[in-house]
Amino acid sequence: MHMSFGSEFVHQLQSPVSPASHPSLGRDLQLDGSSPKLLHSLHELDSSVLSLAANDSYIFSGSQNEHILVWDKKTFQLKTTLRGHRGSILALVYAEDKKWLFSSSGDCTVRVWCTETLRPVYIIDPFNESGAGDLFSLAWSPTLQTIYVGCQNTSLQWLDLSGLPAQSSSLHSDTSNPLPSSFSIPDSGTSTPTSAALRKAHKFFDSYPLYERRPADIFANNSLVNSLSETQDTVPRLVIPCNNVIESVHYGYIYCLSILDEGEAGVRLASGSGDETVKVWSCTKDGPTLEHNFPCSYGAVLSLIIQGDTIYGGCQDGHVKVLDLETRSLVRTIIVQEGVDILSLSLIDSDLYTCSASGQVQRYSGSFDCTACWHAHDGIVLSSIISDGTGKNPTLVTGGNDGRIKVWDIVLPPPRFRDVHRAVLPRADPALAEGSLTYALSKFVSFPSVSSGTSHREDCRQAAIWLKKCLQQLGAFSHLLPTSEGVQGKNPLVLGTFTGNQAGQAKRPRLLFYGHYDVIPAPPQGWNSDPFVLDGRNGYLYGRGVNDNKGPIISTAFAVAELLYRRALGVDVVFLIEGEEECGSTGFEEAIQKYKSQIGHIDGILVSNSTWISEDSPCITYGLRGVIHCSLEITSSFPDLHSGIDGGGVREPMLDMVTTLATLTNSQQVVQIPKFYDHVRPQTEQERELYQRLSSVTQKSASSLSSRWCQPSLTVHNVEISGPKNATVIPGTVKSQVSVRIVPDQDLNTIADSLCQFLKQSFDELQSPNKLQVQIVNTADWWLGQLDDPWFVALESAVREEWGVEPLRIREGGSIPSVPFLEKVFKCHALHLPMGQSLDRAHLPNERMSLTNLERGKKVIARFLAKVASMGTTA
């Protein structure tokens, strides 16, 4: 059992913990300068403030000296003191629905107070057969009307309080509403048996100091006995029954509880312990059931808070663990201050406030950047809450072992992050409401879901969560799938299934729609508007990802939802949306193999991730080139040198790199890798005619189109050097990136191996003392659609009917790694419907998509699905 703080935990808090000498490297030192302002400081008793709660009128503070102070929020004056506990007030929880304040203490009781009369309502005794010890934590569920108690003896206990009067005085006058039989209310009189008298002494929890050399007994602290003398005849006493106890929930004290009460959607409880784990419980009237165990492995979990599908756990060593409930994975570790305990966490919108044993409070944004850091208390910050202020802004209330309660005026985060956890779509039937598609796209674009770096990792996850909820609201069964369980940095998949509702079909066709919610970076240079705020101008919507690939995803989702709403969806449509496409679809293939059974049988695959060849001619893409990305590194045995001193005396890595790269092609740019062109599929007469037709549309030569689409190519992307990069330095290390685009019928693995072997052979011929390393970074196979496939014919027909012209058949020089892979896994054909126009500037500043193309793209999808449904599963 992990007992890092022992039963003396609260008494040791009088001594300050030494803070780290410098901020952790995990902090973002680029603070925005908007630290909260101190509004007021409260101080009445010379005692540590261990717990806090608040309602509209009062701030409640639980002290180490057994009292609960009640402060008026408007005047900041002490209203009254709630007395009754005989031990430190370890936890306070306000139940707004009941107007109750729950308090738990080191005296092994939970007390319930009416926040309107400020009088005691009930006393709750835990099940004490084995001694519950200090009651460290509480959580209240309004849906289940149940209080949960985390105990020092590692038990989790709970009590259903539904049906009880809000004020205890009514218990004596209202005989029509007796207490449930599971509760115990002793008769008045000093001889009444209590939970203290009914249990055996515990050697640990009921012990005297060692120097007294006395055996343990239940009167060691006199807490329970003393508490009987106080209004025992007027305050009903409730006892948690033995059936409402789970023993040994953790291998350590249960320091914290946090609840996610989503009403009919369910109640979840998280518990944090000294055993360095967070456990998640699914709660019903029958009690909690263990759902998942998150190992944190960084000291005791001292504080918890839940928002949506995210759990934040403050740990003993200065780390905050960010855990995802749905994918059951570790999202991020925030290093606040190494070795400095995180004793309290507070959250408002997307801003997280961490309170440390160093006396510091730090604020983290929705993307986990540290945006403020200040010294809040002279000692340890023990507790904190977010409270509604008397002005326009909410307040952060903190309590420390300096005896102070401080009220800080805080500013809400920017609207983009504030909107993350609010309504996904504005109406109950959004698929048919005018403007809903544009509204949804504006929300989707607002997430800067850039997958190529760590700074936007949380934005990617929030985009996935939003898309999941959007698909749910449109009528799909939707959830997230982790791409690499237990590994930080891999964005989840969004899986959403729309089930067809057309009657009379024993088996419906199943279409998989593949897309990606991640985007490439959007530097502000060159943009005429904020890249992550949807901007409508002259019939176009501007924003990063509006074309690639968020616009097509939303358009397709609304097409399916409208058919579903009209009960005309005769196809099951499975949305499979990844978040790593822009950086090589890392982890995608492994995740699909793992969750293939959850995705289910697939009859066809639809992709919409490219643009037309012109502005006016609708197209269908039927081919993609593959790609092989390769990295080279040549290093010498010497460091960076001065060319004036050592030039001519050493073998330079840069010259070796240039010479090696030069062997890849000849003067006519023909790739020199042996047998490179041997299996390139010859161009057919039909294709030559097509390219001539496309040439007249694009005003580009047919040979140029053919080279970009049907011929392989090799590109040297960059050369990077070590050192200061000035003209007098001989770099000791030189790196380069090379890619090869492949076409039908080149074999991906064969070409990759040939490329590596050729580079090594070319370097070996130099007989250089330097060292060469060659590595294949990532690959994607080529793809060619089946033009005679019935679903391809149906898609062409849908485009023709909607636009009134014959769609152009085009190919792309780029690559989408997942398309050929999905074909192989599900053993079916893929289709590619581009929605954007040629000048939509995907990956460039001012990326756009026309409103017309979004709406008509949606109609093309609807027509296509109707045609597929009529064909059944025989296509």
How far apart are the C-alpha atoms of 651 and 656, rounded to whole Å? 8
pLDDT at 468: 95
Which strands, in side-by-side order, build the sheet including 245-246? 135-141, 146-151, 156-160, 245-246
Which position has the token pair 């490439």? 520
In the chain, helix, strand, coil percent, each to 5? 20, 30, 45
The C-alpha torsion from 645 through 647 and 650 to 656, rounded to 10°, is 150
> Is the peptide bond preceding residue 65 cis, with omega within 30 degrees of 0?
no
Residue 130 pLDDT exceeds 70: no
259-288 pLDDT, tens per residue?
999 888 899 999 999 999 999 999 999 999
How far apart are the C-alpha atoms of 46 and 64, rounded to whole Å? 9
How far apart are the C-alpha atoms of 488 and 454, rounded to whole Å? 10
The highest-level CATH class for domain 626-677+712-780 is: alpha beta
Contact criterion met (CB below 8 Å) for 216 and 208: yes
- Encoding tokens for residue 278? 């967070």
Helices marked H in 542-628 — which ranges? Answer: 550-565, 588-594, 596-599
How far apart are the C-alpha atoms of 357 and 16, rounded to whole Å? 7
- CATH number of 47-335, picked from 2.130.10.10, 3.20.20.80, 1.10.1130.10, 1.20.1430.10: 2.130.10.10
Contact criterion met (CB below 8 Å) for 29 and 349: no
- Please state the pTM of the whole predicted model: 0.79
Give the mean model confidence (pLDDT) for residues 545-554: 97
CA–CA distances in Å: residue 626 to residues 171, 258, 579, 629, 780: 76, 49, 20, 10, 5
pLDDT at 418: 53
Which position has the token pair 């698929």? 431
Facing residues of 405 across strands? 42, 399
Q: Is the domain 423-625+783-871 a CATH 3.40.630.10 member?
A: yes
Q: Where are the domains of the chain?
A: 47-335, 423-625+783-871, 626-677+712-780
Give the mean model confidence (pLDDT) for residues 124-130: 80
> Can you tell me whether residue 220 is helix, strand or coil?
coil
pLDDT at 182: 39
772 pLDDT tier (thresholds 50, 70, 90): very high
State which amino acid sits at residue 547.
N
- Encoding tokens for residue 672? 């020199």
- Encoding tokens for residue 602? 């697939």
State which amino acid sits at residue 10.
V
Helices marked H in 281-426 — which ranges? Answer: 415-418
pLDDT at 423: 58
Facing residues of 742 across strands? 626
Which position has the token pair 């403020």? 372
How far apart are the C-alpha atoms of 557 and 470, rounded to whole Å? 9
pLDDT at 218: 57
201 pLDDT tier (thresholds 50, 70, 90): low
Contact criterion met (CB below 8 Å) for 551 and 854: yes
Which of 71-80, 487-496, 549-558, 833-842 shows the lowest mean pLDDT across its residues? 487-496
688-724 pLDDT, tens per residue?
888 888 988 888 888 888 889 999 999 999 999 998 8
Which of 3-7, 541-545, 596-600, 628-632 shows the lowest mean pLDDT across its residues? 3-7
Cβ contacts of residue 430 below 8 Å, gap of 6+? 436, 439, 440, 473, 474, 561
- Encoding tokens for residue 461? 């996850």
727-749 pLDDT, tens per residue?
999 999 999 999 999 999 999 99
435-464 pLDDT, tens per residue?
889 999 999 999 999 998 888 888 899 899
pLDDT at 853: 97
760 pLDDT tier (thresholds 50, 70, 90): very high
| Exposed / middle / buried, residue 685 (Cβ in 10 Å: 0-12, 13-18, 19+) | exposed
How far apart are the C-alpha atoms of 323 and 326, rounded to whole Å? 9
How far apart are the C-alpha atoms of 60 and 305, rounded to whole Å? 19
How far apart are the C-alpha atoms of 638 and 700, rounded to whole Å? 50
Give the mean model confidence (pLDDT) for residues 149-177: 74
